[in-house]
Amino acid sequence: MAKATEFVKEIADIHEDFPQWYTDVVRKTQLVDYGPVKGTMVMRPYGYAVWENIQKELDARIKATGHENVYLPLLIPYSFLMREAEHVEGFAPEVALVTHVGENELPEKLVVRPTSETVFCDMFSKWVQSYRDLPMLVNQWANVIRWEKTTRPFLRTSEFLWQEGHTLHESREEAEEETIKMLRVYEEFAKNVLAIPMLTGRKSEKEKFAGAQATYSIEAMMLDGKSLQAGTTHYLAQNFSEPFNIRFLDKDGTLKYPYQTSWGVSTRLIGAVIMAHGDERGLKLPPFVAPIQIALIPVAMHKPGVLEKAEELCAALKAAGLRVKLDATDNSPGWKYNEYEMKGVPVRLELGPRDIENGVVTVARRDKAGEKFTLPLEGLADSLGTLLREIHENMYAIALAFRDSHIRTVHTMDELGQAVQSNNFALSMWCGDRACEDKIKETYQATSRNMPFDQSPVGDTCVCCGKKAKHKIYWGRAY
């Protein structure tokens, strides 16, 4: 108990001050540091390694659905942004402009990309000539700049990393199918890689992407009961292809405008992992994105054969494809245990003289704090592979149970207020009017999250105005 008390003073109490807990965790585990420009972050090796694992897993899924990676310029002519009125209005407050090179003023201002729809459209107008060029399925991994007023590492920063997919299709049906397909890819990725259950559905008109005809999202519940929009897909219809004059010669010999989609997730996913799984001891990383899956701690290294056996074991586990770190520093075993717990390493192995003598290794699971057991050294790589999958499944089950226990079905404004004020999502019926959406936000600082695909009613009337309801929808306070 004394060790635990000494350890947790390193970070704020997750139950008493969740925002400070988050800040402490991201810095003390060396995920990020603050950049020299206000609102920017520096991703340190440990944090960037999490992103690399996310990128690797998601990139494989994107390519498996037929998309190819490209890279487009960071700078966009200002005139491009002006071609789609709703788009420019949505992004204007966050846009950074380049106006000078040295002492010379540029003939046209340049936008530092907040997103790349417009520059993709310019390229598409050159690349697409015929129906044979469709569908056009491309994706890029890039950085974007959005000049945010209030920032927090991973959740909202002036510069962040992301992927953005952009596609063109012959028909509206194909584009709408693509929009939902990529939403399902994100949902599956969140479940099977991040161990986070998502609420999936369509955003309201107010909350949709600027320039889209329809936006869909995956929404995750954080441990403080707030929602984190973790990814979005957008059906753009012909809203960009027409102003950018993207046309293709169809089979019937006529020129037509293609239908378009875009979709993306960002380094915000790391924030989701932190806030969906962490605890009073720090990070709790899902095995498939953890930079270190297994921390190997030699105990009593001064005794003959301990370090040598640890090095042999580490090499064998790495050869089996596991991400292992052997900590042979002169820090005490207790310090190492606390360090790797705070960093969220899924499995810790302790190897001492008695373990070696008995042909076993002592195992501690991060997802079940305090639980220790032994595994035979023989066949250990296979045993650990199975254990890592069990840890992932357990983390998902815990997150799912937490989320489901924090969703309240409500029928009145008072019930909605009580739900969100006690750190829950509220599920209600809604008339679809913007006025009710605005009133709920003004009254309870809660926003619509999305409308689930299963629209089985939970009532007949709007939670706000009492008129006949059109939609079932989730509400919550959000990051």
Q: 1 CB contacts (<8 Å, ≥6 apart)?
A: none
What is the mean predicted confidence (pLDDT) over 230-245? 97
pLDDT in tens, 17-50: 999 999 999 999 999 999 999 999 999 999 999 9
**So where are the chain's domains?**
2-277, 294-386, 407-476
pLDDT in tens, 71-122: 999 999 999 988 877 777 878 888 999 999 999 999 999 999 999 999 999 9
pLDDT band at 3 (very low <50, low <70, confident <90, very high): very low
User: Is 4 or 310 the better-scoring residue by pLDDT?
Assistant: 310
Question: Which residue is associated with the tokens 């003959």?
Answer: 304
Residue at 332: amino acid letter: S
- Closest by alpha carbon to 448, among 472, 419, 412, 413? 472
Q: What is the pLDDT of residue 433?
A: 98
Separation between Cα atoms, residue 67 and residue 64, nearest integer Å: 7
pLDDT in tens, 268-292: 999 999 999 999 999 999 999 999 9
Classify domain 407-476 at the CATH superfamily level: C-terminal domain of ProRS (3.30.110.30)
- Domain 2-277 sits in CATH 3.30.930.10: yes
Does 2 have pLDDT greater than 60?
no
Does 475 have pLDDT greater than 60?
yes
Separation between Cα atoms, residue 105 and residue 83, nearest integer Å: 23
Going by DSSP bridges, is the β-strand pair 360-365/372-376 parallel, antiparallel, or unpaired? antiparallel
Q: What is the pLDDT of residue 89?
A: 80
The fold for domain 294-386 equals Rossmann fold (3.40.50)
Separation between Cα atoms, residue 121 and residue 94, nearest integer Å: 21
Work out the burial of residue 351: count CB atoms within 10 Å of its CB; fewer than 13 is exposed, 13-18 middle, 19 or more buried. buried
Where is 143: in which H helix or E strand? strand 136-145
pLDDT in tens, 381-423: 999 999 999 999 999 999 999 999 999 999 999 999 999 999 9
Assess contact for 236 and 211: CB atoms under 8 A.
yes
What is the mean predicted confidence (pLDDT) over 332-349? 96
Virtual torsion, Cα 204, 206, 212, 213, nearest 10 deg: 50
Separation between Cα atoms, residue 88 and residue 37, nearest integer Å: 25
Does 1 have pLDDT greater than 70?
no
Percentage of residues in the chain with pLDDT exceeding 70? 98
Does 448 have pLDDT greater than 50?
yes
Q: Where are the alpha helices (DSSP H) in 18-104?
A: 18-28, 45-64, 78-81, 85-91
Does 204 have pLDDT greater than 50?
yes
Separation between Cα atoms, residue 451 and residue 217, nearest integer Å: 9
Q: What is the pLDDT of residue 9?
A: 63
pLDDT in tens, 345-377: 999 999 999 999 999 999 999 999 878 999 999
Report the chain's mean pLDDT, rounded to a whole number: 95
Helices 306-319, 380-404: inter-axial angle, 10-degree rounding: 70
Q: What is the pTM for the complete model shown?
A: 0.95
Any bridge partners for residue 139, and if so which?
69, 165
Where is 184: in which H helix or E strand? helix 172-192
CA angle 427, 431, 436 (to 5 degrees): 85
What does the DSSP 8-state code read for residue 299?
Answer: S
Q: What is the pLDDT of residue 370?
A: 77
Going by DSSP bridges, is the β-strand pair 227-237/259-266 parallel, antiparallel, or unpaired? antiparallel
Helices 45-64, 172-192: inter-axial angle, 10-degree rounding: 140
Does 315 have pLDDT greater than 80?
yes
What is the mean predicted confidence (pLDDT) over 249-270? 98
CA atoms within 13 A on the CB side of 248: 22
Percentage of residues in the chain with pLDDT exceeding 90? 93
- Closest by alpha carbon to 289, among 277, 302, 273? 273
Does 4 have pLDDT greater than 60?
no
Virtual torsion, Cα 233, 235, 238, 244, nearest 10 deg: -10
